[in-house]
Structure 1
Amino acid sequence: MPLGKIIKLLKGAFHKHPAESVDSLELPETENNLSMTSEENTGLVKTNVGENTLEQPSAEITQTSLPTILEEKKMINVSMLQDELQNFVSAASEVQGAALVSPDGLALASVLPGGMDEERTAAMSASMLSLGERIGRELARGSIDRIVVEGEKGYGVLVGCGADAVLLVLAGAGVKQGLLFLEVKRVVAKIAPLMG
């Protein structure tokens, strides 16, 4: 098959609707019909500027500006999350630390007691959430509201904070559970809108 016919087949295939196949294209047999103008092949429009000819995209192509893309993608302000956690830990007397973690185990923001590894704590929080949700399903308890770990030195409370984050709160043994859960609910209400 001559090279001109192959090129025409390829060009025609790219400019037809997806439902049409290469087999359905009609191939003219005359040499005069083998060459097509660049306007037909590429969708470009020629514009004369002085003696130079410029090719510009035709009006059919739409472009999305960068600000529009950035408005659609919501950005998480990490410094505001960090400030909210810092205010929460310093305001509540028995709260020793808090961490905001993504469901896949990455720390978004944290205020943890000295000696606690942020990455390890974040990974354990995500694992604890995953296991808790699985247990809730297996025991037919519905969706999990919170997961509480109670030890001799205090509590670890894990709650959902929107679809993209989990909040871990560490509290001392002397805290009243009702007040702790109320404070956790308040901080979640402040943090969830910041998650976008």
Structure 2
Amino acid sequence: MPLGKILNLLLVALERISAKPAKVTDELQTTEELPSTILVENTKVGAATISNLSPSTETSIFPQLEVFEEKNAIAVSKLQDELHNFVSSNAEVEGAIIITIDGLALASVLAPGMNEELTAAMSASMLSLGERIGRELDRGAIERVVVEGERGYGVLVNCTQKTILLVLASSAAKQGILFLEIKQAVAEITPLLK
């Protein structure tokens, strides 16, 4: 069946359902009567099915979606606040970012000029590589991955099975204290990720 004819049949059906006249272009108008059921790609579509797609169904979905988005916004805001508190309360900590294992940033407090997307992607790759190395060397589950450079540390730890925390610390940080602070931060962040 030509596309124009299918569109016209759908417009006529919607016109009957809504009782409001639909605007149909001259090209699509036809004098054929709408059959009670239309077969489109082996799927029956009747007047009852089309009425289920009315605007009243759409509006009942949107409040649920808005509540879901609002809850997510609140959760991200709490994560952001928790990260900010962690970074600001530890003198040696210069930044932190929570990312998914896919490399997407959820919340971050990074130094100006740092690319959040690139940092998130590299961190996920680094942890994935660290876990593979741990398996190959028969070291068991990875507790943390540490990168030590002349200007400080980058420490990656798992928060949940699907999220990672990267902490950037200055070279003045003492590793034992830094690891303890990170462990405490993870304990406070993890409930917010569930």
Q: Distance between the aligned counterparts of 1:179 and 1:135, measured in 2? A: 26
Ranges in structure 2 where 5+ consecutive residues have no aligned partner: 1-60
**Which residue number corresponds to residue 95 of structure 2?**
97
Q: Distance between the aligned counterparts of 2:119 and 2:135, measured in 1? A: 24
Ranges in structure 1 where 5+ consecutive residues have no aligned partner: 1-64
Counterparts of 1:4-43 in structure 2 under 5 Å? Answer: none
Q: Cα offset for 1:114?
A: 1.0
Counterparts of 1:13-162 in structure 2 under 5 Å? Answer: 77-162=75-160
**Which residue number corresponds to residue 174 of structure 2?**
176
Q: Distance between the aligned counterparts of 2:155 and 2:106, measured in 1? A: 17
**1:155·1:173 contact (CA, 8 Å) conserved in 2?**
yes
Q: Distance between the aligned counterparts of 2:144 and 2:167, measured in 1? A: 11
**1:164·1:195 contact (CA, 8 Å) conserved in 2?**
no
- Look up the equivalent residue of 1:99 and give its one-letter code: I
Identity across matched positions, percent: 64
Q: Deviation per CA, 1:140-178: give whole Å up to 9, x if none.
A: 000000000000000000000011210000000001101
Q: Cα offset for 1:75?
A: 5.1
- Look up the equivalent residue of 1:150 and give its one-letter code: E
- Look up the equivalent residue of 2:148 and give its one-letter code: E
Q: Deviation per CA, 1:12-34: give whole Å up to 9, x if none.
A: xxxxxxxxxxxxxxxxxxxxxxx
- Look up the equivalent residue of 1:80 and give its one-letter code: K
Q: RMSD across aligned C-alpha pairs, in angstroms?
A: 1.9
Relative distance call for 1:131 and 1:87 in structure 2 (3 A) is same
Q: Which entry has the higher C-alpha Rg, 1 or 2?
A: 1
Query: When you count helix as a share of all residues, which structure comes out higher?
Result: 2
**Which residue number corresponds to residue 183 of structure 2?**
185
After superposing on structure 2, the runs of 4+ consecutive aligned residues of structure 1 that deviate more than 2 Å are none
**Which residue number corresponds to residue 192 of structure 2?**
194
**Which residue number corresponds to residue 4 of structure 2?**
none
So what's the TM-score if we normalise by structure 2? Answer: 0.63
